[in-house]
Amino acid sequence: MANSQLGANVNTGPTTVVTSGFESLRQTNEHNAEYWRARDLQPMLGYTQWRRFEQAIERAVASCEASGNKPENHFAGAGKMVDLGSGSQRSVEDYHLSRFACYLIAQNGDSRKPEIAQAQQYFALQTRRQELSDQALADAERIELRKQTAGEFRALSGAAQDAGVQSKMFGVFHDAGYKGLYGGLGRDAIKQRKAIPEKDNLLDRMNATELAANQFRMTQARDKLARGVSGQAQAIQTHEQVGKEVRDAIKRIGGTLPENISPAEHIKEVEKRIKKATPKLTLSEREASGLLGGKEKS
């Protein structure tokens, strides 16, 4: 199914899968430990027959034991009352499952089912987040800021054109913003001060802090141009003034002035490192969190 419950209300594709479905079924027991009911999880994972789903659970239990984790901490038997057509109820077999158990069921489910494939990807992403080191998180933040700054640069260029800046003067216009923010230093002077090769894009050698300062400069300059600045000379002057005001704000809060920030590793190297860092599809007992609030049975 393209619109499975696991990815309900998510239209951005399987890579963004899902908190709305799986996480919405999460419950809490008397030990304040989270758990999921197998009967609730069954349709979400594409199983119409309980018998087939229970086979996946049995394989997951075996995997749990083989990994050195105690199955009873993750697969607790619990009856569930279901409504019958006559209006009465009866108890059916069910399980209370830890997050680790749900992960193992997804790993041991029928991979031909789109819902299982989605669930496997979801847990892979969750596991990946747990494994991210501080450096990896910083890398991800910097890559995102670099993308945003590239977008702001294009948007600012468009605003400058609308204000009357000719294309042959775009270099002067953008340099004015740098000069305001960097205490009179233009792009080439900044590169020289920081020993950045001429071939490198200056933005590619900025760390997250420096990128954020420049993104703020660009955003504010674009907004100010849109509020009625007209003419090439005025637009260039406005950009430099905005840069100066951002610089003054950095001074007031005691931040490091951008020309004093060391050049960062080239952004392409950061992107390569992120791509090579593949997630491990394993969880430790501590990460798994059992049905006893993280405590094992004695």
Domain assignments of the chain as residue spans, ordered by start: 5-131+279-288, 134-265
Q: Which residue has the tokens 């270099």?
A: 171
For residue 164, name the pLDDT band (cuts at 50, 70, 90): very high
pLDDT of residue 24: 87
Give the helix, strand, coil percentages of the chain, each rounded to 5.
Answer: 60, 5, 35
Contact 196, 262 (CB under 8 A): no
Rg (CA), the chain: 27
68: left (phi over 0), alpha (psi -120 to 50) or beta: left
For residue 8, name the pLDDT band (cuts at 50, 70, 90): very low
The pLDDT of 235-250, averaged and rounded, is 97
Tokens of 136: 């990896």
81, β-bridge pairs:
91
Percent of the chain with pLDDT over 90: 55
The pLDDT of 71-83, averaged and rounded, is 77
Does residue 233 surpass a pLDDT of 70? yes
Q: Which residue has the tokens 């007992």?
A: 285
Q: Give the DSSP H/E element, type plus range, for residue 61.
A: helix 50-66
DSSP state of 92: E
- pTM (whole model) above 0.85: no
CA–CA gap between residue 143 and residue 106 (Å, rounded): 31
pLDDT of residue 10: 32
Of 31-35, 143-147, 259-263, 276-280, the one with minimum mean pLDDT is: 276-280
Task: Output 16 or 258, whichever has higher pLDDT.
Answer: 258
User: Which residue, among 73, 68, 4, has the nearest Cα to 35 in the 3D structure?
Assistant: 73
